[in-house]
Amino acid sequence: MNNVHILGFSGSLRQSSYNRALLRAAQELLPEDVTLELFDLDPIPLYNGDVEARGFPEAVVAFKERIAAADALLIAAPEYNYSIPGVLKNAIDWASRPPDASPLNGKPVALMGASVGLLGTARSQYHLRQVCVFTNMLPLNRPEVFVGRAHEKVDAEGRLIDESTRKHVKGLLEALRDWTRKLRRE
């Protein structure tokens, strides 16, 4: 069976972000036959249809290229005001353009998220699943990785130290690998 190459990105730009910490942990926990490349959403400007009409900004071109080159996506989604942070929604909006040539179309995707609250981004992730409908990303249903009280699970160096959460992240990566292969009919 072929390797599965995943592109991961975080909806938080903060250097000490718990969601970035989840992605770094994922890099340490990769199952066999899986590679994970991280993309930083920081340089992506706010979506503007006039800018799109003049030509996609360099950072957006790079983002779309990396999505197209990946077999699957791994999104670490924070929760802001019970929903998807603007940074993440904005990046997805750019990547979805133009709709008839969107690299998101048909892409397997796994979601995870960390927050300091108890529900660990559940509400944000369910909004993100709705976004998957129109963009036609193919989200993995299970496992769901909701990391609540993240400040107790990530140390001062930004390492995910909670063993149970590390197991969940590993399980998510294995399930995303299998989901991607299933969709490729391997």
Residues within the interface to ligand FNR (CB under 6 A): 12, 14, 17-19, 78-82, 114-117
The distance of closest approach from Cβ of residue 81 to ligand FNR in the complex, given in angstroms and rounded to an integer, is 5
Task: Provide the minimum distance between the beta carbon of 173 and ligand FNR in the complex, in angstroms, as a whole number.
Answer: 19
Q: How far is the CB of 130 from ligand FNR (least distance, A)?
A: 16
By beta-carbon proximity to ligand FNR, the closer residue of 31 and 158 is: 158
Q: Please tell me the distance from the alpha carbon of residue 78 to that of residue 180, in angstroms, as a whole number.
A: 24
Question: Which lies closer to ligand FNR via its Cβ, residue 79 or residue 144?
Answer: 79
Helix 86-95 with 58-69: angle, nearest 10 deg: 80
The alpha carbon dihedral of 52, 56, 58, 64 has a sign of positive
Which residue, 55, 64, 60, is CA-closest to 43? 60
Q: What are phi and psi of 8, to 5 degrees?
A: -110, 140
Cβ proximity to ligand FNR, 11 vs 103, nearer residue: 11
Residue nearest to ligand FNR (CB): 117
Yes or no: say if 158 and 21 are a contact pair by the CB < 8 Å rule.
yes
Of the pair 4, 114, the CB lying nearest ligand FNR is at 114
- Taking residue 147's Cβ as centre, other Cβ atoms within 10 Å add up to 26
**3-state percent breakdown (helix, strand, coil) of the chain, nearest 5:** 45, 20, 40
CB of 152 to ligand FNR, least distance (A): 12
Nearest approach in angstroms of CB 182 to ligand FNR is 30
Q: Give whichever of 4 and 76 is closer to ligand FNR, judged by the CB atom.
A: 76
Of 59 and 116, CB closest to ligand FNR? 116
Residues 6+ apart with CB under 8 A from 55: none
Cβ 149 to ligand FNR, closest distance in Å?
10
Q: What is the CA radius of gyration of the chain?
A: 16
